[in-house]
Structure 1
Amino acid sequence: MHDGLASWSVNTIKPTVLGPVSPPIWYEAAQLAGRLAEVLQQGPLQDEQSQQAIAFLTAHWQRAKASQPTPARQPLDTLCHRLKLGTQERMLLVLAGMADEHEGFVATFAGLHPRNEPFPTVGLLARLAFDSVDRSECWRLLTQSPLIKLGLVRLSGDGAWPEHSLHLAERVWPVLYGLDCWPQDMAPQVAATRVADSWLQHPDVRYALSRLGSQQALAVSLQGEPQAMRVRLAQLLGELGQRAACFDISSMSESLLETLLLHCLLRDRIPVLIGTPTGNSPLARFPAPLLLAETEPVLLASLPLPVLPLPAPRPSRQLLAALWQEAMPELGEQAIALAARFPLEPRRLFRVQDDARAIAGLTPLRDTTAYQALKTRLARGSDTQVRRLVPHADWPDLVLPPAAMNALHDAVARLALQAQVMDDWGFERGDANRRGLRLLFCGLPGTGKTLAAEVIAHALHAELMVIDLSRIVSKWIGETEKNLAAVFEEAETTRGVLFFDEADALFAKRTDVHDANDRFANIETAYLLTRLERFDGIAILATNLRQHIDKAFLRRFEFVIDFPEPGAEERAAIWQRHVPAQAPIAAEVDFEVLALRYPMSGAMIRNALLSAAYYAAARQDDITCDALERAIALEFEKTGRLCP
């Protein structure tokens, strides 16, 4: 038997100048089948089933030998070199995978197995690989080999150890053929970019890349803000190219993570892992470099590997715009505005690109198409705490005094220019709280605060996220803050416009503490103060009672805009704006006269015009002055004011 093993190893592996080469894995399996036929022939008893197995194994080996494949560098050679595997370990790996090679091997192993399982046993390995009564070397192999420790070869079954089955991890055998066959739901993510900036030339980055190309077991940990890490990770993937494979392992089980790492090892790929799994033992056993991102600090602290931290600075405006231009070059300069509003990492950008091209079809790709695709791809949570509105109102629908109108335009322009001022001109100075946009709208009911919020959302191509106070405020301690945190995070992720109507209910002044209710109310206000300040998005607060807003909030608003009741000129324009082109307005109606006679807010005008339309429709008549005056009187009555 010893001579047979020596013959198997010599004929299998042939060293060359470029390293060891060998025939394909199917040839090694056939060669081992021939060796198995020899072992079975030496057995004391041969029943009909054994004779059939010997005949199949011998014939299979003869057919393979006649083909004479050309030796070449095989995936198994790379694996053996990486793990420093010996001849017996190589035989163990081939034997454990033979059931995946041919149904004849399945029948042979089932006939030899004491429980009729279609796998080779530990006892069969000992007979093939070790010519000795003393099987200590076999036991040492099955307890200390990297194949066993890493889970490439697995033992299963109960009872005596020689009766345990040997088999490979999931889909390992096709990889040994050279096929790019990943386990189900484990395909690598496409997240690389070739867009570069000076960060890639930083000495720390070059050193980290060199360590990732080494053979040492270590972990390079990207550290920074999530969005910055994703962009920098895409740049590293672009540098590593085909040497790396990227996966999201958030909440992945240990068994799945072990299988994933094994497949990276088989392909000689660097695992790039995003998130934190449920267990870290597979990471601790991995014998090669790892690249980690968005990993919980507690996992890094417990990882028994050298950890090399790599800072991931926030990407510049130019880099984000270049990423958009890489994904959709047709957008040209429009990519700069898109990058300022939606600083997406390449992985999500690729999905937006695919969606936008599918929407555009044969028509040219435009920024409006990209905005439409973004609405689908930006993550959305539950709608239980906010009411989402697709804005339709535009600037011509808004009638305000020049001062308020100019302030609203300045607010939208400020957001568009924020990256230039903060990044290019250096006004951020390391203070992330300077980003975002916070506005306070003050004015009586019906003066256009909600409409102005909708106009801003429309100008920014964003959803208007109206806060539902009934679902935000909770009687349970800490629940209100938790609900608010979820809403702020959702707005930051989706880049929606967060709108707090009747904001004085949440942002009220802090009071002296007389009981527990006062203390917890002050805690809520303090939380809102800090969260609003670091909010990296657009938040609009509307109130009828400016004096009730805590003064500490006012410092945190970039714009405080007053919405006065409209004058006669504004009221006439509002009347005209609310009249549809197809509405049957009587010739006698003069909206300028109505504007002069009745001091009404915009909401009152809208309601009165709608009521007058219903009066006219009931009579199957035009909308007359009588119908309008009747509706106007009703509006004044509702507000408790005397009708002029």
Structure 2
Amino acid sequence: MMQSSWERNASREINREVGLLAGRLAEFLREKFADHEKGLEGSLRFLEHAFAGVAEGKSLEQWREPLFERIDPTAGHPLHLLLCGFGFSPCEADLLLLAGMAEEHEGFADIFRTLHPRNQPWPTVGLAAQFLCAGAGERIALRKLLTVGPAVRAGVLKLDGDEPFFLQNLMVSEMLWPVLHGIDAWPSSLAREEGMVSRHGLDDWLGEASVQKAMTALRTATNCTVLVHGDDEEAAFQRGSALAMEAGVHCLRIRLPVDPPASVDRLIGVHAMARGAVPVLRLARREEPGQLLAPQFDDFPAPVILCSMDGVGVISRHRPLMTVHCGRLTPTALRRMWERTIPPLAGQADMLAARFPVEPWCALQVAVDLESSRRSNDSPIRLDDVSSCVRGRAVTNLEGGVQLIRPQASWEHLVLPAPQLQQLREALNRLYMQGRVLDDWRFLEGRRGARGVRMLFAGPSGTGKTLSAEVLASALDVDLLQVDLSRVVSKWIGETEKNLGRVFETAERSNAVLLFDEADALFGKRTEVSDAHDRYANLETAYLLSRLERFEGLAILSTNLRQNIDAAFTRRLEFIVDFEEPSREQRLALWKCHLPQKAPLAEDVALEELAGRFAIVGGLIRNAAVAAAFLAAAENLPISKEHFISAIRREYEKSGKPYRELVEKR
């Protein structure tokens, strides 16, 4: 594999310094083991050969100047960045090179094995003391360096083994040595993010005072922690990455696991410093109650960006803190984002902003998917393609307790009175017109959850509540997420709130319509507190009230019993739609809707008669139409009136109602 000139120069610098140290070590060993020199002759020749390879014809005496005077501070090589960034002393620089020699060449490892009391291929602290210390005072200073010195505190050097101090192995941090050679090596224990970062649509956010202050700190390498926080840790992570990019600094983007090891900050700090990079860390949420102790970076003398959900991590008290909040993008910012991310659809940016209020990183993923599809199909990008990509991405990240419904129904399938239909269309306009009303006209400015629409569908089973939710999702060209109450409500204290939190986050992340069917099980009236069960049930209700109020999407509560819904919920709803049993004319329309044109009807079938004789709701009409078709198909006959009546009678029995016919009901 070809090396760049920068990599070759960085590697040459390390080779030179190791070779010079090898010459000094050979000199020390010849003096130390003068009486046993014959047994070390092979090792001494190897060390002297390593020195001769880098000495440029000079003697060892001519290379006595400190390492810091030899390295080029303008080249940006990892060795210089590491030593100067952490403020290492010349002795610590020698310790680093000595500890890394076994990684440099197997010949050095063999020499250390020969000198090691346990035959291991590493230098010991005792060897370092004999090699670098002239007397007892310097040995005490060495002990201090290797106990509380900058190199050990930073994690660049580590002592390994349970033996007494001077018998412990001296080693370098995981995967650091190849980095000093200019190789972009990375510890396997850390999940590094390599994806693209998008700043489209973030102009206003990047111009905020707190963000500008944070960027100044990054550019000047100020020792501080920049906390980027918001409703979603992934959005915060992507915003933190965009912040670093806008500041013009190199960054290392890392996804931390839940409860990372205590030493993770040192490992990250070492690799960041050697690269001259700013760590950008995504803090994962803990499922259990309690805050996460974020990596502290107390011994890292440079900026760090921590990205988390609001209130997730406990940040170090010993570092200056700057906080940056990443709120949701305004429709203006969303329009700008879509215009720049998918230029072929710039003319439809308003529609994209209304239908897909996603973060820039999500839009970038969609753009990549679209470009890949365009190349394979050689077809222009359409608005429907964006919808397919957004929905496809959302499906891969569904949480438990959520059932995905791909909406197929349209307005033609919906048979409702005009007032109810008007309310459904007004709800859509609340989503479509947010740019004008909320941004241009400044209604509800600063109110959290202002961009959400909350609706209650109340009425008997089968009157079209779920179908209406599906029609709304279809009109928005998004999915419908139906909450599975059996998997959300838990008997364990605190579990229901946690499950509900994931449900809301899933709906917001996927930009889908959220449907709570039979919502009175969750949104019912609060009770007088008579025992612990009542108290925790009321806590669940209070959590729901708060979470529903700040929900930024379309949420629909469906219930058969409106009177069971807590009044505190109804006050927070933008629309309450009552679904009543259909009139005769509506039943006729429903029969026509559920009977396909190709259905073979017998001559004795009169849909007007069925609509007049049987006062049943749309759900039962659909079931009866399908059941009658199967009865007729089994007899190889057209669908007759008798087939319909038999199917209707069965629907009455299933619903627990007595079968009865009407002369007419309007």
Q: Which amino acid aligns with 2:458?
A: C
Partner of 2:67: none
Distance, in Å, in 2 between the alignment partners of 1:622 and 1:393 is 27
Shift of 1:63: 3.3
Alpha-carbon distance in structure 2 between the residues aligned to 1:36 and 1:387? 69
User: Which residue number in structure 2 is paired with residue 445 of structure 1?
Assistant: 461
Residue in 1 that maps onto 2:115: 112
Query: Residue 245 of structure 1 is aligned with which of 233, 247, 252?
Result: 252
**Which one-letter code corresponds to 1:41 in the other structure?**
R
CA-based RMSD of the aligned residues comes to 3.3
In structure 2, which of residues 442, 445, 448 is the aligned counterpart of residue 432 of structure 1? Answer: 448
- The answer to whether the 8 A contact 2:594-2:622 is kept is yes
Q: What is residue 24 of structure 1 aligned with on the other side? A: 13
SS of the residue corresponding to residue 159 of structure 2 reads: strand
Q: Is the contact between residue 192 and residue 236 of structure 1 (CA under 8 Å) also seen in structure 2?
A: no
| Distance of 1:218 and 1:565 partners within structure 2 | 64
CA distance in 1, matches of 2:432, 2:485: 30
Of 38, 42, 49 in structure 2, the residue corresponding to residue 52 of structure 1 is 42
Alignment of 1:85-484 (within 5 A): 85-132=88-135, 134=137, 135-184=139-188, 185-190=190-195, 192-195=197-200, 196-226=202-232, 229-230=236-237, 232-251=239-258, 252-275=260-283, 279=293, 282-294=296-308, 302-359=316-373, 361-362=376-377, 363-378=379-394, 380=397, 382-383=399-400, 385-475=401-491, 479-484=495-500
Contact 1:229 1:294 in 2 (8 A): yes
Pick closer, same or farther for the CA change 1:326–1:569 going to 2, 3 Å: same
* Equivalent residue letter for 2:452: G
Is this contact kept in 2: 1:190–1:347, CA < 8 A?
no
Instruction: Name the residue aligned to 2:63.
Output: none
Q: What is the rounded CA distance, in whole Å, between the counterparts of 1:462 and 1:397 in structure 2?
A: 18
The 1-side partners of 2:526 and 2:293 are apart by 45
In 2, Cα distance between equivalents of 1:460 and 1:65: 73
Which letter does structure 1 place at the counterpart of 2:466? T
* 372 and 94 in structure 1: CA distance in 2 versus 1, 3 angstrom threshold: same
CA pair 90-179 structure 1, distance change in 2 beyond 3 A = same
227-236 vs 134-143, greater mean Cα deviation: 227-236
Rate the CA distance shift 1:109–1:367 in 2: closer, same or farther, 3 A.
Answer: farther
> Shift of residue 202 of structure 1?
4.2
Q: Give a deviation string over 1:27-47, Cα, whole Å, max 9, x none.
A: 221222222222222222336
> Which residue pairs with 2:64 in the alignment?
none
Cross-structure match for 2:5:
none
Structure 2 unmatched ranges of 5 or more = 1-8, 59-69, 286-291
Partner Cα separation in structure 1 for residue 131 and residue 549 of structure 2: 71
Q: Secondary structure at the match of 2:84?
A: helix
Distance in 1 between the 2:149 and 2:537 partners? 62
Distance 1:475 1:140 in 2: 56
Q: CA deviation at 1:545?
A: 2.8
Question: Displacement of 1:451 after TM fit?
Answer: 1.0
Q: How many residues align?
A: 623
Residue of structure 2 equivalent to 1:542: 558
Distance 2:535 2:162 in 1: 63
Q: Name the structure 1 match of 2:595.
A: 579
Give 3-state SS (helix, strand or coil) of 1:85's partner: coil
Distance 2:154 2:593 in 1: 72
Specify whether residues 636 and 347 from structure 1 end up closer, same or farther in structure 2 by C-alpha distance, changes over 3 A only: closer
Which residue pairs with 1:487 in the alignment? Answer: 503
1:40 is aligned with what amino acid? L
Where structure 1 has 5 or more consecutive residues not aligned to the other structure, the ranges are 1-19
2: distance between equivalents of 1:138 and 1:509? 70
CA distance in 2, matches of 1:532, 1:640: 40
CA contact (8 A) 1:397 1:577 kept: yes
Q: Does the CA-based 8 Å contact 1:119-1:166 persist in structure 2?
A: yes
TM-score scaled by structure 1?
0.86
What's the offset of the Cα at 1:625? 2.9
What is the CA-CA distance between 1:262 and the residue it aligns to? 0.9
**Deviates further, 591-600 or 281-290:** 591-600
Counterparts of 2:151 and 2:426, CA distance in 1:
65
- The one-letter code matched in structure 2 to 1:439 is M
For residue 636 of structure 1, report the CA deviation from its aligned partner.
4.8
Alignment identity in percent?
Answer: 40
Paired with 2:262 and 2:535, the residues of 1 have a C-alpha distance of 45
CA contact (8 A) 1:300 1:307 kept: no
